[in-house]
Amino acid sequence: CMLTDGLVSAYLDELAQQRRQSPHTVSNYRRDLGVLGRLVGELPGNHRFDTIQTHQIRRFIAQLHARGLGGRSLARMLSAWRGFYRWLGQRSETTQNPVDGVRAPKTSKALPKVLSPDEANRLLDSSSDAVMEIRDQAMFELFYSSGLRLAELAALDLASLEDILAGEVRVLGKRNKLRLVPVGSKAREAVGLWARRRGEVASAEQIALFVGQRGGRISPRLIEERLKRRALAKGLLTGVHPHMLRHSFASHVLQSSGDLRAVQEMLGHASIASTQVYTHLDFQHLARVYDSAHPRAKRK
């Protein structure tokens, strides 16, 4: 059903080698193109990639939507297919791009889940003297204090320690964009305590700020597991993850300041549209206050 497996492999190789796409992105494209190959193979007759028409692409999307795939997944899949056909056209392997003009069905955008300020305080309330708990406290305080992404925190090196203790952290975010974010007093205190104990577990040549029990750089997966364990121990909802602390940081700062542009800058969002989701969370908070306080809004 495919033109050749070699063309797909060549396209994915170009994504990885020349366009410097991440292994995760290349893996997603490989899977999405595999789905397209199976759908082409299910068509009656002897179809190949270069014989597919736009109406058949629309039919594929309708089939996948009926099987339960949401709008975001389908949009990503269409993007992978569209890019592949564009690449085929540049090499004269096809004369048309049947994916052009096809859009994924819209799905309602779920608001990010956040902790309340009380829940965040409960999560971060710790008095343990165990070195791994001290490390966890420093990591979780930094997440909530500065709105870091999981990968950004895991990538921090010892070289950043001086800046953090001085009240700021430099991180390299998406698209290699460098940003400077303030660090609150609680996080500075927690990181300082971890810095004094880090030598008990870190390998001699290790440059990572946060390390695991074996002395090497801590993995993102372990950070997620430690946060989930802490949340369960504190009686919080299951499913607490590092990005929830980032969401909570953004929501709480916006509720207190109302400064959307400042929150955008601290989160490292390229577009303010990405940050505006937190205004909806803020409105939900105001709506709850209104419902509980306004005499004509109270339910009898």
Residues forming the active site: 149, 174, 243, 246, 269, 278
* Cα-Cα end-to-end distance for the chain: 64
How many whole angstroms separate alpha carbon 36 and alpha carbon 79?
Answer: 12
Say how many C-beta atoms besides its own lie within 10 A of residue 253's C-beta: 17
Q: Which two tokens stand for residue 76?
A: 């990503």
Q: CA 14, 16, 19, 22: dihedral to nearest 10 degrees? A: 160
57: its two tokens: 């692409």
CB atoms within 10 A of CB 117: 13
**Tokens representing 214?**
């074996």
Q: Encode 132-155: b = buried (16+ Cβ within 10 Å), e = exposed.
A: eebbbbbbbbbbbbbbbbbebbbb
Q: Measured between alpha carbons, how far is 140 from 249 in angstroms, rounded to an integer?
A: 11
**Which positions ≥6 away from 61 have C-beta within 8 Å?**
74, 77, 78, 102, 104, 105
The continuous run of DSSP H or E covering 221 comes out as helix 220-233
**Distance of alpha carbon 24 from alpha carbon 17, whole angstroms:** 14
DSSP for 43-79?
Answer: SSSS--GGG--HHHHHHHHHHHHHTT--HHHHHHHHH
Give the bridge partners for 236, in sequence order.
none
